[in-house]
Amino acid sequence: MMDFKTEFKPLTVQPQQIEGRSFEMIDEEIGEHHFTEEQYPIVRRVIHASADFELGKSMLFHPDAVQAGIQAIRNGKKVVADVQMVQVGVSKPRIEKYGGEVRVYISDPDVMEEAKRLNTTRAIISIRKAIKEADGGIFAIGNAPTALLELIRLVKEGEAKPGLVIGLPVGFVSAAESKEELAKLDIPYITNLGRKGGSTVTVAALNAISLLAEQV
């Protein structure tokens, strides 16, 4: 039986020490993996954000993905997030220092009006608007499979030319399928297999790339 009278003693170490120790534990526990030296920092931050090694090991990278993301940030390209949760979590100073910005279109009045008129989702209409304003940018999709599927359609039709797609939507309806379709494209992408994903891991992947962009 647990003794609930025992006094709780909070940790007093610095946040940097906790993060450093967390990364050490991930390195110790992940075991064998197939990721390259430039891909692994992204995988490690995804695991750090989710505490999910299965999710981390399911990550998929286009060969040009990491460098494409770094160059997009350094060239001041826009980052398009599918939802505010992704926008809030991104380290904006690292994007803005190169002249970029993080935008989310899903709550724009014209997007809501058009979605209602066409009887479709705001996620789909937001992507149609975003591709007109963020050519060569990074599209970070962690919540809406419909947004990712629409972006894939526009890429196939030659209407969208993203610099990098981080497609990590979570869910039971179309999430896994949308990521499978993304992995078939010959454009820079970061995604994963299966239903797992979400805004938190999308932010983790994007922040990892922005950290790499700062390195000389």
Q: Catalytic site residues?
A: 48
The closest of 190, 76, 71, 74 to 140, measured between CA atoms, is 190
Kindly list the distances between the CA atom of residue 48 and the CA atoms of 15, 141, 148, 161, in Å, as whole numbers in the listed order: 14, 19, 24, 31
Alpha helices in the chain (DSSP H): 15-29, 40-50, 53-57, 65-74, 84-89, 92-96, 109-118, 122-133, 145-156, 175-182, 199-214
